[in-house]
Amino acid sequence: MKRREFITFFASAAAAWPLAARAQQAGKLPTIGLIGPNTEAVDRPQVTAFVHRLGELGWVEGRNIVIDYHPAEGIFERAGEIAAEFVRLKVDIIVTGGDAQVLATKRATAVIPIVFAAAGDPVGNGLVASLARPGGNVTGRSLQLTDTAGKRLELLREIVPGLRRVAIFGNFANPFIAPELDAVQAAARTLSLDTITSEIRRAEDIPAGIDALKGRAEALYVCADPLVSTNRARINELALEARLPNVHTYRDSVEAGGLISYGPDFLDLYGRAGDLVDKILRGANPADIPIEQATKFDLVINLKTAKALGLTVPPILLATADEVIE
């Protein structure tokens, strides 16, 4: 792993320490190795929520705990490299998010406790034995992405009159998207919608992937993935140019120009991950800490994007939205 500055986000402040200083401090205080799934800019709000919650629980960076953050920048292999370095440094807990990142971390250690702030299908993807009793050294919070895929399609149909064909867009090289893809296609059949898929594997694939949908699809379902999150503004820009209304899982994609999103509140998920870390630091065994389900879901609508697409958002959606961006 390349030497990087240690970045801590707390009350919008940042401090940078060289690796040697971190290792020295890590020998004195409990150390949390934090693997961000995306880039620093994308991870910043979630990391801030996580650090803030730890502070509320009495764990203050530099006083009685060290938080060593590194972004995987949407690269699964990098998550494994970071995890291996954390194992070498003998951190006390590793925190990350995303099924692929958690699996890469799990491969690096079966001893150090691992807390995932968010995972789409922790049982189906082999991260834990069961939701009630995870077993091993892993615990965390489930996103319930497959349970809410149908809701996202329903919202898209409500906002796009006469919708018949939807393109499912995502990084299908990430095997952990498969359960969501299956759920979207099943929901589409129930709603009498036809689907096609458009795959990306790199940021460079995005323009061609969207261009290929012109005239073939009437709307876009964007699967959640670090590659997508990192390039969300570009995806939304090109979708708008292609006149493709789009639905996302996370609010930050709508804040970056997407049309509508429905999914778990990531800030809440990362904040509650702080509760799990607190339990482990106080002696709990991750094998015995049940996987918590996401409980807070947000509906976010971007009226500016709707107007640019010539769409009128039904009043009932505006009334029930958690946030309307104008």
Query: Greater confidence, 89 or 174?
Result: 89
| Same domain for 259 and 158 | yes
> Residue 9 is which amino acid?
F
- In this predicted structure, the answer to whether residue 23 has a pLDDT above a threshold of 70 is no
Q: Which domain holds residue 109?
A: 19-143+265-296
Give the confidence band of 176 by pLDDT, cuts at 50, 70, 90: confident
pLDDT digits (tens, 9 = 90+) for 144-173: 778 899 999 999 999 998 999 999 999 988
Q: What is the mean pLDDT of residues 117-134?
A: 89
Residue 87: CA atoms inside 13 Å, Cβ hemisphere, count? Answer: 17
Question: Model pTM?
Answer: 0.81
108 closest CA partner among 133, 142, 74, 77: 77
Work out how many domains the chain is built from and give that number: 2
| Same domain for 160 and 138 | no
| Same domain for 202 and 320 | yes
Q: What is the CATH classification number for the domain harbouring 307?
A: 3.40.50.2300
pLDDT digits (tens, 9 = 90+) for 230-255: 899 999 999 999 999 999 999 999 99
| Same domain for 97 and 74 | yes
pLDDT of residue 2: 34
**Long-range contacts, 190-194 (Cβ 8 Å, 24+):** 190/150, 191/150, 191/153, 191/154, 191/157, 193/153, 193/157, 193/163, 193/164, 193/165, 193/166, 194/164, 194/165, 194/166
- In this predicted structure, the answer to whether residue 266 has a pLDDT above a threshold of 80 is yes
| Same domain for 289 and 163 | no
| Same domain for 93 and 43 | yes
pLDDT of residue 221: 98
Share of the chain above pLDDT 70, in %: 92
Q: What is the mean pLDDT of residues 113-124?
A: 90
| Same domain for 309 and 219 | yes
| Same domain for 181 and 78 | no
Whether 13 is covered by a domain: the verdict is no
- In this predicted structure, the answer to whether residue 270 has a pLDDT above a threshold of 90 is yes
Cβ distance 96 to 79 under 8 Å? yes
Q: Which helix (H) or strand (E) holds 140?
A: strand 138-142
- In this predicted structure, the answer to whether residue 53 has a pLDDT above a threshold of 50 is yes
Give the confidence band of 226 by pLDDT, cuts at 50, 70, 90: confident
| Same domain for 217 and 126 | no
Quick one: tokens of 321? 């939205």
Whether 4 is covered by a domain: the verdict is no
| Same domain for 230 and 94 | no
| Same domain for 165 and 107 | no
